Amino acid sequence: MDDTRQKTLMKRASLAEHKGEALSADERGIEASSAESDTESLAREGGLMERVCERENLKRALARVKRNKGAAGIDRMTVGELSVHLKAHWPVIREQLLAGQYQPQPVRRVEIDKPGGGGKRKLGIPCVLDRFIQQALLQVLEPIYEPTFSEFSFGFRPQRSARQAVALAQTYIVEGRRWVVDLDLEKFFDRVNHDLLMDRIAKRVSDKRILALIRRYLQAGVLAEGLVEATPEGTPQGGPLSPLLSNILLTDLDRMLEKRGHRFVRYADDSNIYVASERAGRRVKENVTRFLHSHLKLKVNEAKSAVAQPWQRKFLGFSFTSQAQPRRTIAPQARARFKQRVRELTFRTDGRALDETIQRLARYLEGWRGHFGFCETITTLRNLDGWIRRRLRSIVWKQWKRGRRRFAELRRRGVGRELAACTAGSAHGPWHLANSPALTQALPSKFFASLGLPSLYAQPVA
């Protein structure tokens, strides 16, 4: 592919977030070999470990690890202690890396609840030193592999986002592909075959020290309940290198789908294929399931996968409306998780001052809005805005405690005497009264905005 065409393609992909513009059939047919040629000779030259250990690369890796923060691994070293450790020990560590003798430490296993109460997700927390080395590795390997990845893969890649993935999915529906093959890979990160993965990596990387180090990271083991367990398969989630490794392996799936002319979008291990009919969807699901099992030794979770219409499924927390011009909306499961988290941050009896509660809540809302503000059903965002303010009003009402203070506070905030007296003496609970005329007048949206509460919708409403 010539440089001009490549730049045009990348520009259109980046604009998908804002315009929902689909790539043309001609652009979908571009062969991977053209994009890969520029990096292949570089990867094959050897000496990649020297590049990993270059001073500027290490400075960038250290800055990124510090910025990402994160918990300590099994050695209990914190991110703040890493610089001091490197000053004392880096010459020895560097020598081990260059000699191909560095041995990573096992990762510390933690389990977190899956969204929607679907069991536990196992995360591996590498030691801070290993996160630093993995980040340095990533910065050298990512430019080699990035041009070889599919245009329809969006997860954990520079200049690509979940919003772009959702926008592209929307364009497929607009095109008339109103059935989706929603694939969920069963315990993907726990079941990656090491030999298959290393074979894919070795096709582009000839430095044996790099290959040996990656395999050692894959097989470093996991510390769980005081015992180190072997890891004969899988790439533990939590390390900087794991997302790149997953994309390297799943590129095989992308290329197969491209070769067969499918309209699809993949974000990490979450893949959606858009087709014109249910019958076509079932055929595609069967073929892809067979390919994943035979070619990549991966298993499709049948309980979580389906052939359905897009508005019956979710993708990266979004769903779509069923109109002729479908709009992005927030999936019910994502709304439920949002409300549960807000409840946790606004617990009525935790004794926090209102401004402190709002500060904690604001940090969460800003991050949530960064993803879900892409929603096109504005009523959904406005309703969630109103629900948050109602919850905060119920907190304030609870804090005012007794009738006399409640009456005085309502009067001080401009509520008429009769309405204030009626509301202060009401037998209804805080949640009911939080939506009453008296409290919406006394504690309007601009009051909460003055305390730093961000709106999920661009124009806050009362």
DSSP summary character for residue 327: -
- Residue of 296, 294, 323 lying closest to 311 (CA atoms): 323
- Residue 189 CA: distances (Å) to CA of 32, 111, 112, 218, 242: 25, 14, 15, 11, 8
Query: According to the model, what pLDDT value does residue 233 have?
Result: 85
* 452: alpha, beta or left? (left if phi > 0; alpha if psi -120 to 50): left
Cα(456)–Cα(459) distance, rounded to whole angstroms?
9
- Residue of 381, 378, 396 lying closest to 436 (CA atoms): 396
**Higher-pLDDT residue of 212, 32:** 212
Mean pLDDT of all residues in 441-446? 96
Token pair of 144, please?
Answer: 């080699």
Compute CA 245 distance to the chain's CA centroid, rounded to the nearest angstrom: 16
The answer on pLDDT for 161 being more than 90 is: yes
Picking from 44-53, 71-80, 193-202, 403-412, which range would have the lowest pLDDT averaged per residue? Answer: 44-53
Query: What is the pTM assigned to this prediction?
Result: 0.83
Query: According to the model, what pLDDT value does residue 25 have?
Result: 39
pLDDT 10s digits, 193-233: 999 999 999 999 999 999 999 999 999 988 876 778 788 88
Q: How many CB atoms lie within 10 A of CB 209?
A: 20
The answer on pLDDT for 450 being more than 60 is: yes
Query: According to the model, what pLDDT value does residue 21 have?
Result: 41
Cα(421)–Cα(418) distance, rounded to whole angstroms?
5
Cα(141)–Cα(104) distance, rounded to whole angstroms?
18
Name the CA dihedral angle for 347, 349, 354, 359, rounded to a multiple of 10 degrees. -40
The residue type of 94 is: R
The residue type of 359 is: Q
- Residue of 398, 385, 397 lying closest to 462 (CA atoms): 385
Given pLDDT bands bounded at 50, 70 and 90, which one contains residue 252?
Answer: very high
- Residue of 136, 144, 361 lying closest to 248 (CA atoms): 144
**Higher-pLDDT residue of 282, 230:** 282
- Cα dihedral sign, 363-367-373-375: negative
Residues 6 or more apart whose CB falls under 8 angstroms from that of 289 comprise 183, 300
Token pair of 373, please?
Answer: 């503000």
The answer on pLDDT for 29 being more than 60 is: no
The answer on pLDDT for 23 being more than 80 is: no
Q: How many helices (H) and strands (E) does the chain have?
A: 21, 10
**Higher-pLDDT residue of 416, 34:** 416
Picking from 25-29, 111-115, 156-160, which range would have the lowest pLDDT averaged per residue? Answer: 25-29
Mean pLDDT of all residues in 75-101? 96
Query: According to the model, what pLDDT value does residue 44 have?
Result: 52
Query: According to the model, what pLDDT value does residue 5 have?
Result: 40
pLDDT 10s digits, 367-411: 999 999 999 999 999 999 999 999 999 999 999 999 999 999 999
- 120: which strand partners? 113
Given pLDDT bands bounded at 50, 70 and 90, which one contains residue 75?
Answer: very high
Q: Which of the given ranges, 42-51, 56-65, 109-118, has the highest pLDDT on average?
A: 56-65
Token pair of 258, please?
Answer: 């491209």
Given pLDDT bands bounded at 50, 70 and 90, which one contains residue 422?
Answer: very high
Contact 428, 353 (CB under 8 A): no
pLDDT 10s digits, 324-360: 899 999 999 999 999 999 999 998 766 788 999 999 9
pLDDT 10s digits, 121-142: 778 899 999 999 999 999 999 9
